[in-house]
Chains A and B, each alone.
Chain A
Amino acid sequence: MIFKICYEFLLIGMICFGGGYSILPLLQSTFIKKGWISSSEFIDMIAISQMTPGPIGANLATFVGFRLEGIAGAFLGTICLIIPGIILAIGMIYFYDKLNELDLIHKVFYGLRPVATGLILAAAINIMIITLFRRSDVFSFIKKIPTIDYSSLLLFLFCLVLLRKKVNYIYLLIISGTVGYFL
């Protein structure tokens, strides 16, 4: 199991472009689809990772690792996640002068950015189905269109407006948690 965690996190570390939230779809398709962690638990993890100090990706990786294999999983998961980036960074320093680096990066990122956006969009849709419709995934959603959880929907729209008005994440989660308690 511990090797499996290392392997999966090394893979994720290799393909996780765009920082922070781009790790969400990758963790989802690696750990949640296989049923190792429940979707609902995963959303709690995102909330806590956002509220605690440190890079969100590192927080989430620690969470998933700890949940699967305790402190060793937490440690190895996070370390393995950052190893590929560091190895490539060493390569980047050595080849910095030889590569016409900027042009190459522009080309690669032209397609990579929309892919990363699409993957996070998919993660957002997954979370929406769980939060607003109380279904576990897209397929169970399509089979039988469920009723909407209107109080969650309203709270979601309210939070979205707050975010567009540049309200800090921490306050947002405190507000939504307080509202949730009184619902």
Chain B
Amino acid sequence: MNYSFFDKIKLLFRIFLVFFKIGSTTLGGGYVMFPIMQLEVVEKKKWLSNKELIDFYAMGQSLPGLIGPNTAFFSGYRINGVFGGIIAAFGIVLPSIIIISLIAFFMIEFNNYPAVQKVFYGIKAGVLAMVFNAVFNMWKNAVVDWLTLFICIVSAILILFTDISPFFIIFAGTIPGFFMRKNNDI
């Protein structure tokens, strides 16, 4: 395909708009984002095949950072090279930056109302439940034998009771797999 410069800018802008829309319409983060990406990028725009998007999502999960922008990068890359990827990843986080900045700006005064404090008193219990629920969900895939159970408990203890940086704990976590025999239900 031979795009002129102007066409290229137009395509980048369209990529940006689509991923901006995805970022501003998904409530609840990464896992909710996938079906919406499917709808916008695969079904409506036909930029990628469904299989490609599934691959990109898996690749996005295996990289550090956020799954949404990582997947968006791979998708954008496939559509229009490195610039497409960067534009897509930027587009998907820009709504967050705008919306949260607005909320953070108003929250400072908002938080002084007793009614708001009461509501957030209840919400804190809800957040606690959400975080524990996330632990349960991850536990199912992560803790598969005694060694992984041990790794999980030790890393929790280290982060709670010592000042060791999570950087080192996470790095250490990449090592045990290499001493395992071949793919026993990893």
By a beta-carbon cutoff of 8 Å, the part of chain A in contact with chain B is 11, 13-21, 23-26, 29, 33, 40, 43-44, 46-59, 62-63, 66-67, 71, 74-75, 78-79, 81-82, 84-86, 88-90, 92-93, 103, 105-128, 130-132, 138, 152-153, 155-157, 159-160, 162-164, 168-170, 172-173, 175-181, 183
Residues B130 and A78 in contact, CB atoms below 8 Å apart:
no
Quick one: given A86-B70, A127-B128, are A112 and B121 in contact (CB under 8 Å)?
no
Residues A181 and B68 in contact, CB atoms below 8 Å apart:
no
- How far, in Å, is A126 (CB) from chain B's closest CB? 7
Give the CA-CA distance A126 to B157 in the complex, in Å: 11
Residues A183 and B135 in contact, CB atoms below 8 Å apart:
no
Give the CA-CA distance A128 to B70 in the complex, in Å: 31
Candidates B101, B157, B170; contact of A74 at CB < 8 Å: B101
* B31-45 interface bits toward A, Cβ cutoff 8 Å, 1 = contact, 0 = none: 101000000000000
Quick one: given A47-B123, A59-B96, A111-B176, are A92 and B129 in contact (CB under 8 Å)?
no
- B53 within 8 Å of A by Cβ? no
Give the CA-CA distance A29 to B168 in the complex, in Å: 13
Residues A119 and B28 in contact, CB atoms below 8 Å apart:
no
Candidates B31, B65, B120; contact of A81 at CB < 8 Å: B65
- How far, in Å, is A73 (CB) from chain B's closest CB? 9
Residues B66 and A155 in contact, CB atoms below 8 Å apart:
no
Cβ–Cβ < 8 Å partners of B69 in chain A: 55, 58, 82, 85-86
Give the CA-CA distance A156 to B129 in the complex, in Å: 6
Residues B120 and A58 in contact, CB atoms below 8 Å apart:
no
* Interface size of B in residues (CB-CB distance below 8 Å): 97
A-B contact pairs, 21 of them (CB 8 A): A13-B65, A15-B171, A53-B27, A56-B29, A58-B66, A59-B96, A82-B89, A85-B60, A85-B69, A89-B74, A93-B77, A105-B62, A112-B174, A113-B142, A115-B155, A115-B173, A119-B156, A138-B161, A159-B129, A170-B28, A172-B130
Give the CA-CA distance A90 to B185 in the complex, in Å: 30
Candidates A71, A89, A107, A130; contact of B70 at CB < 8 Å: A89
Residues B101 and A124 in contact, CB atoms below 8 Å apart:
no
Cβ–Cβ < 8 Å partners of A43 in chain B: 124, 127-128
Cβ–Cβ < 8 Å partners of B133 in chain A: 160, 163-164
- How far, in Å, is B100 (CB) from chain A's closest CB? 4
Cβ–Cβ < 8 Å partners of A46 in chain B: 127, 130-131
Give the CA-CA distance A163 to B133 in the complex, in Å: 7
Residues B28 and A169 in contact, CB atoms below 8 Å apart:
yes
Residues B30 and A117 in contact, CB atoms below 8 Å apart:
no
Residues B138 and A66 in contact, CB atoms below 8 Å apart:
no
Residues of chain B from 17 to 73 with CB closer than 8 A to chain A in the complex? 23-31, 33, 59-70, 73
